[in-house]
Amino acid sequence: MSVGLLAEPDHPLAWRRPVLHKIITQFIHDVEWGELDYLLIDLPPGTGDAQITIVQESPICGVILENLLP
């Protein structure tokens, strides 16, 4: 599942907190993920709103965080 599937080609997405919260919540609750051992979520840099929503809406039991900035 990708937010890119919802976007028009060559149009950037600039979703703010309310819309971002809604789409992440829908991905977590409405997508039929099946039985998972792991779910990897690749997030762009930002304010942290997406990360906060994920923690609030999902049954996370662990996190791997990679900082790609020097």
Give 10-residue mean pLDDT values along the chain (70 residues).
Answer: 80 79 87 86 77 84 73
- Sorted by where each begins, the domain ranges of the chain are 3-57
28/15 Cα distance (integer angstroms): 17
Supply the pLDDT for residue 54: 85
Residue 57 Cα distances to 7, 48, 51, angstroms: 23, 14, 10
Residue 39's pLDDT is 83
Length of the chain, in residues: 70
